Amino acid sequence: MTRRRLAGLVVTGGLVAGLVVGCGIPDHTDVKVDRVGPVSGSNQNSDPEPVPPSRTDADNVEEFVQNFLTAAAGEFDPGGKTDQRVRDYVSGPAPALKNVNLVEVAKIDVRPNNRDVALTVNHLGVLDAEGRISPPDETTTTYQLQVRAEESGGWRLTKVPPETLLDFEALKTYYTERTLYFWNADRNALVPDLRWLPAEVPTSRVPTELLEMIEDGPSPWLGTSASALPGDSKLLANAPIDNDLLTMNWSPAVGNDGQDSLAQQVAWTMRASGLHPRWLQIKINGQARDKLDVNDLLYRTPYPVGPEPHPYAILDGKVSALTVPTGVPAPVPLAAAVNQKLRFAAFKRADDAVDAAIVNQRNELRVGSAGRGAEITDLALVTGVTPRSAPVWLPRSRMGLVAGTDQRLYLFGPDHVARRLAPSGLRDITAVAVAPDGQRIALIADGKVFVVPVSIGQDGVKLLEPRAVIAPLDSPTAVAWSSENALSIGGTESPDRLSITDVTVDSARRTPRVYDARGEISMIAAFPETAALGRTSSTVLYQADNATWLALGTSTQLGRSALVGAAPTQTPGNDQPTQPIAPFFVY
Partner 1 sequence: MSRESLLEHLRSARARARALWGRIVRQVTLFLVTVEHTWRRSLQVRVVTLTLVVSSLLVAVFAYVVAYRSSTILLNRAEQTVTAQMESGRRFTGEQLAVFGKAYEPNVQGTMQDIVAYLGGGDAQEPSSGLVVVRADAVELTSVQSRAVKDENLREVLGTDITTAVGDGAEATAIRSADLGAGRAKYLVKGAPVRTKFGQVELYYIEPLTTQDSAATQIRTTVLATGATLVLLLGLLAALVTRLVVRPVRVAARTAQRLSAGLLDQRMAVTGEDDLALLAASFNQMAANLQRQIIRLEDMSRLQRRFTSDVSHELRTPLTTVRMAADLIFAERDRFPADVSRTAEILQTELDRFESLLTDLLEISRYDAGFAMLDAEPTDLVPLVHRAVEPLRGLAERCGADLRVEVPATPVIADVDPRRVERILRNLVGNAVEHAEHRPVDVRLVSDGVAVAVAVRDRGVGLKPGEEKLVFNRFWRADPSRARQTGGTGLGLSISIEDARLHGGWLEAWGAPGQGAQFRLTLPVRAGDRLTASPLRLVPEDAELPAVLPPAQPRAITQAPAEVPR
Closer of 32 and 107 to partner 1 (Cβ): 32
Residue 330 beta carbon to partner 1: minimum distance, rounded to whole angstroms = 45
Residue 144 near residue 131, CB atoms below 8 Å: no
Q: Considering the rule CB under 8 A, would residue 30 count as an interface residue with partner 1?
A: yes
Select the residue interacting with partner 1 from 5, 48, 93, 424 (CB under 8 A).
5
Closer of 202 and 220 to partner 1 (Cβ): 202
Q: Considering the rule CB under 8 A, would residue 435 count as an interface residue with partner 1?
A: no
Give the chain's length: 587
Cα distance between residue 171 and residue 70, in whole Å: 9
What string of DSSP letters covers 297-355? HHHTS--S--SS-EEEEEETTEEEEB-SSSS------B-TTTSSSEEEEEEEE-SSEEE
Closer of 33 and 113 to partner 1 (Cβ): 33
Q: Considering the rule CB under 8 A, would residue 244 count as an interface residue with partner 1?
A: no
Select the residue interacting with partner 1 from 57, 60, 77, 244 (CB under 8 A).
77
Angle in degrees, CA 534, 539, 545, rounded to 5: 175
Cα distance between residue 370 and residue 352, in whole Å: 9
Residue 7 beta carbon to partner 1: minimum distance, rounded to whole angstroms = 10
Residue 8 beta carbon to partner 1: minimum distance, rounded to whole angstroms = 5
Q: Considering the rule CB under 8 A, would residue 232 count as an interface residue with partner 1?
A: no
Instruction: Return the C-alpha torsion angle 409, 413, 415, 417, nearest 10.
Output: 10
Closer of 88 and 169 to partner 1 (Cβ): 88
Sole window of 91-99, 203-211, 261-269, 401-409 interacting with partner 1 (rule: CB under 8 A): 203-211
Q: Considering the rule CB under 8 A, would residue 43 count as an interface residue with partner 1?
A: yes
Q: Considering the rule CB under 8 A, would residue 284 count as an interface residue with partner 1?
A: no
Sole window of 44-52, 261-269, 290-298, 404-412 interacting with partner 1 (rule: CB under 8 A): 44-52
Cα distance between residue 299 and residue 504, in whole Å: 26
Question: Would you give the binding string for partner 1 spanning residues 163-202, x where CB under 8 A is met?
Answer: --------------------------------------xx
Select the residue interacting with partner 1 from 70, 225, 247, 499 (CB under 8 A).
247
Select the residue interacting with partner 1 from 121, 239, 418, 456 (CB under 8 A).
239
Cα distance between residue 67 and residue 457, in whole Å: 48
By CB under 8 A, the residues from 458 to 477 that bind partner 1 are: none
Q: Considering the rule CB under 8 A, would residue 270 count as an interface residue with partner 1?
A: no
Total of chain residues touching partner 1, rule CB under 8 A: 55
Q: Considering the rule CB under 8 A, would residue 11 count as an interface residue with partner 1?
A: yes
Select the residue interacting with partner 1 from 56, 57, 81, 362 (CB under 8 A).
81
Handedness of CA 553, 199, 170, 194 (dihedral sign): positive
Residue 97 near residue 72, CB atoms below 8 Å: yes
Sole window of 41-49, 251-259, 331-339, 509-517 interacting with partner 1 (rule: CB under 8 A): 41-49
Sole window of 7-15, 308-316, 365-373, 550-558 interacting with partner 1 (rule: CB under 8 A): 7-15
Which string of b and e fits 548-570 if b means at least 16 CB within 10 Å?
bbbbeeebeebbbebbeebeeeb
Which string of b and e fits 408-425 if b means at least 16 CB within 10 Å?
bbbbbbeebebeebebee
Closer of 44 and 256 to partner 1 (Cβ): 44
Handedness of CA 503, 346, 465, 230 (dihedral sign): negative
Q: Considering the rule CB under 8 A, would residue 36 count as an interface residue with partner 1?
A: yes
- At residue 46, φ and ψ (nearest 5 deg) are -95, 10
Cα distance between residue 387 and residue 406, in whole Å: 8
By CB under 8 A, the residues from 248 to 267 that bind partner 1 are: 249
Residue 465: other Cβ atoms inside 10 A: 14
Sole window of 74-82, 149-157, 504-512, 523-531 interacting with partner 1 (rule: CB under 8 A): 74-82
Q: Considering the rule CB under 8 A, would residue 352 count as an interface residue with partner 1?
A: no
Provide the 3-class DSSP secondary structure of residue 55.
Answer: helix
Closer of 72 and 382 to partner 1 (Cβ): 72
Residue 29: other Cβ atoms inside 10 A: 7
Closer of 10 and 422 to partner 1 (Cβ): 10
Q: Considering the rule CB under 8 A, would residue 18 count as an interface residue with partner 1?
A: yes
Closer of 8 and 373 to partner 1 (Cβ): 8
Residue 24 beta carbon to partner 1: minimum distance, rounded to whole angstroms = 5
Residue 453 near residue 443, CB atoms below 8 Å: no
Q: Considering the rule CB under 8 A, would residue 288 count as an interface residue with partner 1?
A: no
Residue 242 beta carbon to partner 1: minimum distance, rounded to whole angstroms = 6
Sequence-ordered alpha helix ranges (H) in 70-177: 81-89, 168-174
Cα distance between residue 33 and residue 18, in whole Å: 27
What angle do the packed helices 258-272 and 206-216 form, to 10 degrees?
Answer: 130
Residues that bind partner 1 (CB under 8 A): 2, 5, 8-9, 11-12, 15-16, 18-20, 22-45, 47, 75, 77, 80-81, 201-202, 204-205, 207-208, 236-240, 242, 247, 249, 286
